Structure 1
Amino acid sequence: MAEQITIERAQQLKQKPDENKLGFGQYYTDHMFILEYHADKGWHSGRVVPYQNISLDPAAKVFHYGQTVFEGLKAYRTESGIKLFRPTKNFERLNKSNARLSIPPIDEKLAYEGLIQLLNVDRDWVPSVEGTSLYIRPFIIATEAALGVNPSLSYLFMIIMSPVGAYYAEGVNPVKIHVESHFVRAVAGGVGEAKTAGNYAAGLNAQEEAKEQGYSQVLWLDGVHRKFIEEVGSMNVFFKLNGVVVTPMLNGSILDGITRNSVITLLKHWGVPVEERRVSIDELIEAHHNGTLEEAFGTGTAAVISPIGELSYHGEKYVINGGETGELSAKIYDTITGIQNGKLEDPFGWLVALD
C-alpha cells in the first residue's frame, strides 16, 4: 500500500465503562482514525491518533451546505478472536453516498486499512458481555472555508468507535411504531438512499412527536402518494404476510441496508418466500383485519432485528402477533447474532477476522 498510516498512542488511557451498562453511543475508545483530502493531493495523511476534539473554521462547508456522509458497522469479540461483520460493504456504500453528495470517492482499501489499524490499537475496547459489541462510525465532513454554493475542495474522513449494548431500551422485545402521514422524509431522486446527516435531521421532528405518544420510532410513507411503506427512521422494515416475507423494494429513496441484504439472503437460504416490492399501508391494515399480518420487524446495524409489536396509524392501533416477538423474527435475530458472535456457522463468509 502506497499510503503509510502512522500511529500516535494516547499517553493516558480512559477508564473503561461497565459492560453491563453501556447503552448506545455514550462512550468512546482511546483513539480515532483521520484521513485528509485536498483537491490537489487527494486522500492523504492517514493516521491513528488519540481521541480528541477537532478544530474547524466557522465557514466550513459542512456547517452551511450539509456535505457529510457516514456509515455504521460493528466488531464482535468471539471465542476465536475479534470479528467484523461484512465491513467492505460499508465502504462500498459510503462511496455511493459520496457520489450523491459530490464528495470525492474514498480509497476503500486505505479506509479499511485505517479501520484495521485503529481496531488493533483499541482492541481491548471490544466488549465481551453477551449482546454487546463495538460500534464503528466512519464519516466524512466538508472542511473548506468558503461560502460559495459548490462542492468543498477539502474533507476529513474519520472513524470513531463506541462499545455498545442494545440500541432500543426494549432490547429485542417488540417496539411500538407510529406510521407518519404528515411529514415526508425523502423522495426518489433526492438523497434518501444516501447515508447523510440531513436524512436523519429531517426525521427528528416526527420522531419526537411519536415518542411523546409512546412510540419508539416512525414508519415513513412515500413522499408522493403518502401510502407506500418506505422504512423506519433507523431501520429497513419487513412484514410477514400469510407466510410470505415482504419488504419495500429499493426505489431511490430508502437505504440499501446491509442487514436488510443479510436478512433477504438468509430467508432465501432457508427457502422462506421473500418479495421485494411496493407495500401500501392499506395492504397492511387489510392484512391485519383478515389475520394475515403475522409478523413485522425492522433491520439495521444498530439493533440488528427489532420486532414490531404495534403500529399506530391515524389514531388507530394495530397490534401484531399479540404484541409478542414472532417465531421467524426471533429465528432471524438468533441466527444473525449467532453468526456475528461466532456461536453459529457462517455459511456466507460474512465474518472477517481482525487477526
Structure 2
Amino acid sequence: MQQVLGVAIGIALVCLLLSIIASHVQEVGAAFTARRAASLEVAIHGMLQDPDLLAKFYGHPLIQNISFSPLKLPVFGRKAQKTPRPTYISSKLFSRVLATIIQEARDVTVAATQPAPPAPQPEIAVAVAAEVAAVVVAKVPDTDAGKAAAVAKEHLPPAPTFAQLIAALPDGNPLKQRLRTLVLGIEHDAAACNLAVEEWYDGTMDRVNGLYKRDTQWILLGLGLVLAIVCNANLFSVTSTLWRSQAARDEVASVAQMYACPPEKACTPDDIASYTAARQSVENDLKSLPIGYQLSNAKPYWDFVLHGNPKDQKMDVGAHLSWLAGDWSYKLFGWFLTAIAVSLGAPFWFDMLNKVINLRLNGAQPAKADKQKTH
C-alpha cells in the first residue's frame, strides 16, 4: 500500500509542477490577447444582436469605468488596444445599462415622431409662469418643503414601463422578441423585469464560462505536450522509476510534504539563505526522477535523427533513459499522457496531492474486530 501511495505522490507532484507552469503561461497569453474580454463581448453581441446597441452598451460610462487594458502600449509589435473591454460585468450592471440604452433609443424615436414645437411667445410664457407660480403659492406653504416635493413629484410624468421600452425597438429586432418573451406577463413590474433580464444574462454567462474552460483545457493540453517534450516528462518512465526505487519514493514524498504543507509564517529577508538551501535540496531530490535531458549525451541522439543508426544501438540521451528506434511510440504516448494530466489543471493536482499525502501520513484504517457471537 505504501508503495502505491508513494508512486501516486510522485505522479501528482510532477503533474502539479507542470500544471502550474502551463497555467501561468496560459494566463499570460490570455491577458496578452484579451481572451476573456473577447469572449464576453461575443456573448453580449449574441444577446443584443445589434452592432449599434453593442457599441452604445460598451460606450456607456458605467461600462467604460470598469474597462481596463493592461496593454495600453505596443508590446512586441502588437498594437495598443484603443478600446479596452471589461473582463467581467455583473448581471445587475448589465440590466441597468441595457434598460438605459433602450430608453435612450425610445427617447430618440419619440422625438423624431413628434412634430416640432412652435416658436415660444413671450406673452404666453409669462402668463404660464404666473399661473404656475400662483398654483405653487396657493397649494404649497413656504414652511413645508416636504409637501412641495410631494406636489412636484405628483406633477412629474410617469416613468415608461418595460413594455414601452421594448416597443421602442425596431420591429423584427431579435432583441425585441427575446425581451418580450422574457417579460411576458410581468411587463408592468419593473423589479420582476430586471430580475428576468439578470437571470437571462447569468444563464448566458454560465454557457460562456463553460466554453472558456473547454478552450482553456485545449490550450493546457497543447502547453502540456510542449512541456512534456521539452522537459522529457514521461509519466511511464516516472512511474517505473518510482515503483522500483524506494529511495526515490521517499525523496519525492518529503518534497511533496514541503510543497503541500507550506510554513505558516511569511518569508522574511533573514530566511533567504534557508529557503535557498531548501530549494537546492528540492532540486537535488528531484534529480532521482527521469525528467530532463543531459546535453552532454545529446549528440548521439541527433546523429541518429539526422543520419540514422543502422546497428540499432542504444543512445544515452538522459541520465536514466535510453533511446531506441522502437522507443518512439513509448515516448510519444508517455508525453501525450503527461499532456492530458496537465490539462486537468493545477487545482486538481493540488487537491489530489493533499489527499494522497494525508492518506499516507494517517495510514490505512485498522480492521474492525469481529463481533462476538451471541449464543
TM over 0.5: no
TM-score if structure 2 supplies the norm length? 0.19
TM-score normalized with structure 1 length: 0.20
Structure number with the higher helix fraction is: 2
Which structure carries more relative contact order (alpha carbon 8 Å, separation 6+)?
2
Larger radius of gyration between Structure 1 and Structure 2: 2
Greater fraction strand: 1
